[in-house]
C-alpha cells in the first residue's frame, strides 16, 4: 500500500489559512517546524495530520461541496493511499517514520471556517492524526508507504 505527497501545508498561528510549502522538517515527538502545532512534547496524534486528496474530491462529487485540499487544515495531502487504513500502523512519509493514531474527524470549527456540509461530506474520511517517530524532511512528491 503506497501513495504520494501531493501537498504540504502549515500555519504559524491559530486561525491562519495553512500555507503551501515544498518541504518541511518533521521532528520526532514534536511536529512540523513552523507549524502552530509544534510542541515540546506532542500529545498523541497531534504531531502530523494527513488527508487523501480523493476524500476531498469525493465530497464534491457526492455532496456538491467543493473545498481546496489545504482548506481541510491537514498538514499533508496524499494521493493513492487510503489514510484510514493507516490507523494503528507504522508508515513512512519520505524518510520520516510515523504512526497512525486515529481518524481526524471533521468538526464544527472546520465547517465554520469552510462551508456548510463539510462535516457530513468528510465524516470518516476527514484524515488521519499521526505521531512522528523519526526526524527528517517531508517533500511534495515523497512516497507514503505503509510498513509491513
The reported pTM is 0.93
- In the chain, pLDDT over 90 holds for what percent of residues? 76
Q: Which domain holds residue 114?
A: 2-146
Q: Domains in the chain: how many in total?
A: 1
Bridge partners for 3 per DSSP: 144
Assign residue 105 the CATH number of its domain: 2.40.33.20
Band the pLDDT of 34: cuts 50, 70, 90: very high
Amino acid at each position: 500500500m503506497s501513495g504520494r505527497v501531493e501537498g504540504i501545508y502549515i500555519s504559524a498561528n491559530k486561525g491562519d489559512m495553512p500555507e503551501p510549502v515544498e518541504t518541511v522538517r518533521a521532528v520526532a515527538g514534536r511536529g512540523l517546524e513552523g507549524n502552530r502545532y509544534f510542541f515540546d512534547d506532542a500529545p498523541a496524534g497531534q504531531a502530523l495530520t494527513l488527508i487523501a486528496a480523493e476524500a476531498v474530491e469525493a465530497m464534491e462529487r457526492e455532496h456538491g461541496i467543493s473545498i481546496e485540499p489545504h482548506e481541510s487544515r491537514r498538514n499533508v495531502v496524499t494521493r493513492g493511499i487510503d489514510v484510514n487504513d493507516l490507523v494503528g500502523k507504522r508508515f513512512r512519509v519520505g524518510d520520516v517514520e510515523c504512526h497512525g493514531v486515529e481518524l481526524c474527524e471533521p468538526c464544527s470549527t472546520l465547517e465554520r471556517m469552510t462551508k456548510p456540509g463539510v462535516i457530513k461530506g468528510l465524516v470518516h474520511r476527514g484524515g488521519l492524526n499521526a505521531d512522528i517517530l523519526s526526524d527528517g524532511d517531508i517533500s511534495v512528491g515523497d512516497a507514503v508507504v505503509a510498513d509491513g
